């Protein structure tokens, strides 16, 4: 009997029906154990739960267009993220063509759309109040949540990682990207509370990383506005946006300004400072004219203007064009050598009602137009003393040091 029972128990562990001892001292019975049948859909939910996704009962969100059973809600009542049920292919016009419009400089300004990628940058933009048009996520992105008031305000599509990578500018995309509405010119989406009367003029900044970092420093120090001259890299380029880490929405920025109209964005008597990246002991790139040389140049230009009108009228158009080019090159060379005072940054008294800091190009420094602007406004150079044979600093590093020194002096004067 014992051998029989052992045999039946062994068989019961391998197949159903399972043999076991039932109630009763000598009774033997066979019964089928309770089996929970799991449907493929429930099995899928179980796998998603293990990965950290919550699958609560879907409640209708007021004003949302995602109230279908196919939608997935991730998060809590206060912070909820709704994924659109539809997966987009690489050829879908709601995906590739929209990103192309936002990334192209020509169509970017026509449509007023900008392209952001990365969870941190997108969340910073949303927290700043930027208006999102559409968001793209992949299965590789980690779960995150949105404030409840943003649910249903814009569509969120699922795309394949390899398709999103084709449009990304980074080597390893984070798996999330979005298209936002470009803020208006000179608009700060975040209300500025601790500002100082400091304006930053960016003179022919060509590097996208440097441009974004300068905007970030300007926002951090509390600048009143940032002005970018003609010739600068586009401030709404994706790489500039990534480098600025959301600072575009925290400081007023005006782009593509000619030097002839730069004064229109400033007060009557600004204190103009030229940010020198060279050491205070290093001689300037261009030899400086003396005031006697400038007087001689002015007299020479006045005498050239008194040329006989008949001889000017007989000149051909090509001769006039060539002469204008020569005159511009002479004027540019003159302002490169114009004498301006030079001082170490911490010895300057930043007491003006409005301070203007001009930051030059990474490789070529300040342009002749910037020096002409400073000469007309009685500006000066500010520099940083360097040690150990280092003769210059990166323009972003130098400008950031100047900005925070100005902030320090202004805050201390306010406290007094």
CATH number of the domain encompassing residue 392 = 3.40.1280.10
Domain identity same for 91 and 240: no
What tokens does 355 get? Answer: 């301070």
pTM flag (> 0.85): no
Domain end among 156, 181, 206: 181
Domain identity same for 143 and 261: no
Q: What is the mean pLDDT of the chain?
A: 77
Give the Cα separation of 409 and 406 in Å (integer): 5
Domain identity same for 271 and 360: yes
Asked if pLDDT for residue 159 goes beyond 80, the answer is yes
- Digit-coded pLDDT (tens) for 91-141: 888 998 999 999 998 899 999 999 999 989 999 999 899 999 999 998 877
Domain end among 181, 215, 249: 181
Residue 161 lies in a domain: yes
Domain identity same for 105 and 244: no
Domain end among 181, 208, 230: 181
- Digit-coded pLDDT (tens) for 277-309: 876 554 444 455 555 555 565 555 555 545 444
Identify the domain containing residue 116 by its residue range. 74-181
Residue 254 lies in a domain: yes
Domain identity same for 170 and 218: no
A 10 A CB-CB count for 326 gives 9
In 236-290, which residue ranges form alpha helices assigned H by DSSP?
238-244
Domain identity same for 127 and 224: no
Count of residues making up the chain: 416
Give the Cα separation of 163 and 90 in Å (integer): 6
- Digit-coded pLDDT (tens) for 48-103: 555 444 444 434 434 333 333 344 444 444 444 545 457 888 888 899 899 999 99
**Looking at the 3D structure of the chain, how many domains does it have?**
2
Residue 409 lies in a domain: yes
Domain identity same for 155 and 229: no
Question: Which CATH number fits the domain that encloses residue 171?
Answer: 3.30.1330.30
What is the percent of the chain with per-residue pLDDT over 70, rounded to a whole number? 65
Domain identity same for 127 and 219: no
Domain identity same for 226 and 158: no
């Amino acid at each position: 009997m014992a051998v029989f029972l052992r045999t039946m128990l062994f068989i019961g562990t391998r197949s159903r029906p399972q043999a076991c001892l039932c109630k009763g001292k000598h009774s033997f019975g066979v019964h089928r154990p309770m089996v929970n049948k799991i449907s493929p859909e429930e099995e899928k939910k179980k796998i998603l739960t293990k990965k950290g996704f919550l699958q609560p009962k879907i409640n209708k969100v007021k004003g949302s267009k995602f109230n279908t059973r196919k939608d997935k809600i991730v998060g809590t009542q206060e912070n909820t993220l709704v994924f659109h049920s539809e997966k987009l292919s690489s050829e879908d016009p709601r995906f590739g063509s929209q990103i192309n419009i936002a990334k192209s400089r020509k169509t970017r300004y026509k449509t007023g759309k900008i392209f952001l990628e990365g969870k941190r940058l997108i969340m910073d933009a949303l927290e700043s109040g930027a208006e999102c048009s559409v968001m793209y996520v992949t299965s590789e992105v980690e779960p995150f949540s949105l404030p409840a008031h943003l649910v249903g305000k814009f569509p969120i599509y699922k795309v394949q990682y390899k398709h999103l990578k084709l449009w990304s500018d980074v080597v390893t995309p984070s798996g999330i990207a979005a298209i936002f509405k470009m803020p208006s010119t000179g608009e700060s989406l975040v209300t500025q509370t601790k500002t100082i009367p400091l304006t930053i003029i960016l003179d022919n900044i060509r590097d996208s990383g440097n441009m974004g970092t300068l905007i970030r420093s300007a926002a951090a120090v509390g600048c009143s506005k940032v002005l970018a001259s003609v010739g600068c890299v586009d401030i709404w380029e994706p790489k500039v946006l990534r480098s600025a880490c959301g600072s575009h929405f925290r400081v007023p920025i005006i782009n593509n300004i000619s030097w002839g109209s730069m004064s229109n964005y400033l007060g009557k008597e600004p204190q103009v400072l030229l940010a020198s990246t060279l050491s205070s002991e290093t001689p300037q790139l261009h030899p400086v004219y003396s005031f006697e040389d400038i007087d001689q140049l002015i007299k020479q230009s006045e005498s050239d203007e008194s040329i006989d009108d008949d001889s000017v009228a007989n000149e051909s158009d090509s001769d006039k064009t060539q002469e204008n080019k020569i005159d511009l090159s002479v004027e540019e060379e003159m302002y490169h050598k114009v004498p301006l005072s030079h001082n170490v940054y911490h010895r300057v008294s930043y007491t003006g009602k409005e301070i203007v800091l001009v930051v030059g190009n990474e490789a070529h420094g300040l342009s002749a137009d910037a020096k002409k602007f400073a000469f007309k406004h009685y500006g000066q150079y500010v520099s940083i003393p360097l040690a150990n044979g280092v003769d210059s600093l990166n323009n972003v590093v130098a400008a950031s040091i100047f900005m925070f020194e100005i902030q320090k002096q202004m805050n201390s004067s306010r406290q007094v």
